[in-house]
Amino acid sequence: MKKIRYFPFGYRMAGGKIEIVPEEAELLHKIAAHYLEGCSLLRLADMADQSGTRYSENADGWNKNMIARILDDVRYLSLIHISEPTRLALI
Give dist(CA 4, CA 13) in Å, integer. 12
Q: What is the pLDDT of residues 21-72, one digit of tens each?
A: 999 989 998 999 999 999 999 999 999 999 999 998 888 899 999 999 999 8
Give dist(CA 43, CA 45) in Å, integer. 5
Higher pLDDT, 58 or 86: 58
C-alpha closest to that of 24 among 63, 46, 56: 56
Which pLDDT score, from 0 to 100, does residue 7 have?
Answer: 82
* Angle, helix 41-51 to helix 22-36, in steps of 10 degrees: 150
Which pLDDT score, from 0 to 100, does residue 18 have?
Answer: 86
Which pLDDT score, from 0 to 100, does residue 91 have?
Answer: 45
Buried b / exposed e across 14-41, counting CB within 10 Å, b at 16+?
Answer: eeeeeeebeebbebbebbbebbeeebeb
